[in-house]
């Protein structure tokens, strides 16, 4: 290919979504992937499309992206295993049920479908849940998907428009409009998009990103065991708290009939190995909600790294102090959900079009101080 208009570093679902949207705008895109497409957090994560309500900015981005997913769901390849199962937030006691009520009000005020379930209707909706739970909140439009084929599907569209994907290519450094590869080769483009998830910080140390390790387990096939994605309401405490270590109940029915069991969050971990202390706590938590899980077989366990920012919102937009560099990273546990919106927002900003939602909350410039400190340190050396 002649000189690309844009180089995207990372062929996870976020890089793939950016590549698809930029190529739709007529840019010649080159995507560089250190491993194989869709193999990092894209493959490791749970693959949910969920609308979240922790704050307005998170809601706006997840809602917008969820709409984009549903608009394109009919086009998704079968391998994407798109299943609009809905999310059922489970309240274990009266206090959590109050939380479910507040959540209901929040979603309804903003026009999102939501349904409160009392103890009886929760039991009817999910008979495998243990008795004695207070109730739940059903968000019917949420879905689950298997993300690697989605990333491949987005990349194919980019390739059909003349773009290129190079796999097993490791990027060593970004310098101005140049990308330096581990083999010493250099590639040039006026626009460079860093979409390498938790690995992004290896290329730009100033990024306010921390890896946040997660464990997952998948069972043998048990079709119909649960019908919705099940999440405990305490999940938000785990996802949005800053404690070093937490587990929360989150189980998904997959298209294969398997159950995907999460979730855990750990800061300060760099080894990808299974930590059996965390894994056993996570599984105990899941059995606590779904006692019938105990005698199902686990086929595989694995870990992955979320790219977490201090405010749990992603970095989408130009990198402060870097003329050619744009960021599409920092999506924590919502990279699958928000991938399509990230690609659209980034393409809109690059093209100078007004985006459908306010992009300011995700602008990397909100961490301008940390980029300036980095530049200052670099300047004093």
The residues of the shown chain that bind other proteins, judged by CB under 8 A, are: 35-39, 43, 79, 148-149, 152, 167-168, 217, 219-220, 256, 261, 273-277, 279-280, 283-284, 286-287, 293-302
Q: Give min distance, CB of 102 to other proteins, in A.
A: 32
Q: Which is nearer to other proteins, 64 or 289 (CB)?
A: 289
Instruction: Identify which of residues 9 and 283 has a Cβ nearer to other proteins in the complex.
Output: 283
Nearer to other proteins, 34 or 356 (CB): 34
Spatial separation of the C-alpha atoms in residues 316 and 364, rounded to whole Å = 6
Nearest approach, Cβ of residue 99 and other proteins (Å): 26
Q: How far apart are CB 157 and other proteins at their closest, in Å?
A: 16
* Cβ closest to other proteins, residue 36 vs residue 181: 36
Minimum distance from residue 152 beta carbon to other proteins (Å):
6
Cβ atoms within 10 A of the Cβ of 357, count? 18
CB of 204 to other proteins, least distance (A): 27
Q: Do the strands 29-32 and 164-166 form a parallel or antiparallel pair, or are they unpaired?
A: parallel
Q: Which two tokens stand for residue 40?
A: 């990092």
Of 180 and 287, which has the nearer Cβ to other proteins? 287
When the beta carbons of 39 and 73 are compared against other proteins, the nearer one is 39
Where in 103-142 does DSSP place strands (E)? 115-118, 135-139
Q: Cis peptide leading into 228, omega within 30 of 0? A: no
Q: How many other C-beta atoms are found inside a 10 Å radius of the C-beta of residue 215? A: 24
Q: Which residues contact 37 (CB under 8 A, 6 or more apart)?
A: 11, 12, 16, 31, 148, 151, 152, 155, 165, 167
Closest Cα partner for 294 from 331, 245, 255, 259?
259
Least Å from the CB of residue 150 to other proteins = 10
Q: Which residues pair with 165 in a beta bridge?
A: 31
Residues 342 and 73: their CA atoms lie apart, in Å, by: 17
Give whichever of 154 and 192 is closer to other proteins, judged by the CB atom: 154
Rounded-to-integer distance, Cα 32 and Cα 159, Å: 13
Smallest separation (angstroms) from other proteins to the CB of 153: 10
Shortest distance, position 256 Cβ to other proteins, whole Å: 8
How far apart (Å, rounded) are the C-alpha atoms in residues 92 and 223?
25
Torsion sign (Cα): 44, 72, 49, 11: positive
| Closer by beta carbon to other proteins, 39 or else 365 | 39
């Amino acid at each position: 290919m002649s000189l690309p208009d844009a180089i995207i570093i990372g062929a996870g679902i976020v890089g793939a979504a950016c590549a698809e949207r930029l190529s739709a705008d007529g840019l010649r895109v080159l995507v560089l992937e250190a491993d194989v497409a869709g193999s990092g957090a894209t493959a490791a994560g749970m693959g949910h499309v969920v609308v979240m309500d922790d704050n307005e900015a998170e809601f706006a981005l997840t809602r917008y992206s969820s709409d984009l997913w549903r608009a394109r769901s009919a086009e998704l390849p079968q391998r994407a295993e798109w299943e609009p199962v809905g999310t059922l937030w489970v309240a274990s006691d009266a206090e959590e049920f109050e939380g479910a009520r507040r959540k209901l009000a929040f979603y309804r005020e903003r026009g999102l479908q939501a349904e409160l379930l009392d103890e009886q209707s929760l039991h009817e909706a999910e008979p495998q849940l243990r008795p004695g739970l207070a109730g739940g909140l059903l968000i019917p439009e949420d879905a689950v998907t298997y993300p690697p084929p989605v990333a491949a599907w987005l990349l194919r569209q980019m390739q059909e428009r003349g773009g290129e994907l190079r796999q097993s290519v490791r990027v060593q450094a970004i310098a101005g409009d140049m990308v330096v590869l581990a083999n010493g080769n250099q590639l040039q483009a006026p626009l460079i998009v860093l979409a390498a998830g938790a690995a992004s910080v290896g290329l730009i140390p100033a990024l306010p990103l921390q890896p946040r390790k997660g464990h997952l387990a998948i069972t043998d096939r048990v079709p119909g065991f649960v019908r919705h994605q099940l999440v405990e309401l305490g999940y938000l405490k785990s996802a949005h708290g800053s404690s070093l270590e937490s587990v929360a109940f989150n189980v998904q029915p997959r298209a294969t009939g398997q159950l995907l069991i999460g979730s855990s969050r750990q800061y300060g971990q760099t080894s990808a190995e299974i930590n059996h202390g965390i894994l056993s706590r996570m599984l105990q938590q899941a059995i606590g909600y779904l006692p019938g899980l105990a005698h199902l077989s686990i086929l595989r366990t694995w870990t992955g790294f979320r790219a977490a920012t201090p405010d749990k919102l992603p970095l989408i937009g130009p990198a402060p102090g870097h003329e050619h560099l744009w960021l599409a990273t920092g999506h924590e546990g919502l990279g699958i959900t928000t991938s399509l919106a990230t690609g659209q927002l980034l393409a809109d900003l690059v093209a100078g079009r007004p985006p459908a939602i306010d992009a300011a909350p995700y602008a990397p410039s909100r961490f301008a101080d940390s980029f300036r400190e980095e530049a200052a340190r670099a300047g004093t050396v």
